[in-house]
Amino acid sequence: MGLNEPDFHEVVVQIVRRHCPELGEGSSTTRPSKNGKWLSVTVTFEATSKMQLDSIYMELTAHERVTMSL
């Protein structure tokens, strides 16, 4: 989740794609908060290892525009 800015969705997808190059189009969805300030991005993929998941999580949480990652 991060501020609802025009390219936030693409930032998240690019981070995930670095660790999951086979990520297909349509594998992500977005949902704005009730007041529109925040944007939730859901990316669906099949992980190949715990290390892959940990790497994605670490890069997402380290990014200055990502406020929260689950």
Assess if residue 12 is contained within a domain: yes
- 69 within domain boundaries: no
Secondary structure (3-state) at 6: coil
Specify if 68 maps to a domain: no
CA gap 38, 67 in Å, rounded = 9
**Residue 50: domain span:** 2-62
The number of domains in the chain is 1
* pLDDT tens readout for residues 5-58: 999 999 999 999 999 999 988 999 999 999 999 999 999 999 999 999 999 999
Per-residue pLDDT band for 64 (boundaries 50, 70, 90) equals: very high
Q: Is residue 22 part of a domain?
A: yes
Q: Is residue 34 part of a domain?
A: yes
Max Cα–Cα distance, the chain, nearest Å: 37
- Say what the pLDDT of residue 68 is: 96
φ/ψ of 27, rounded to 5, equals -90, 5
> In the chain, count of helices (H) and strands (E)?
2, 3
pTM over 0.85: yes
pLDDT band at 62 (very low <50, low <70, confident <90, very high): very high
Q: What is the pLDDT, as a whole number, of residue 43? A: 97
Q: Based on the number of CB atoms within 10 Å of its own CB, is 46 exposed (0-12), middle (13-18) or buried (19 or more)? A: exposed
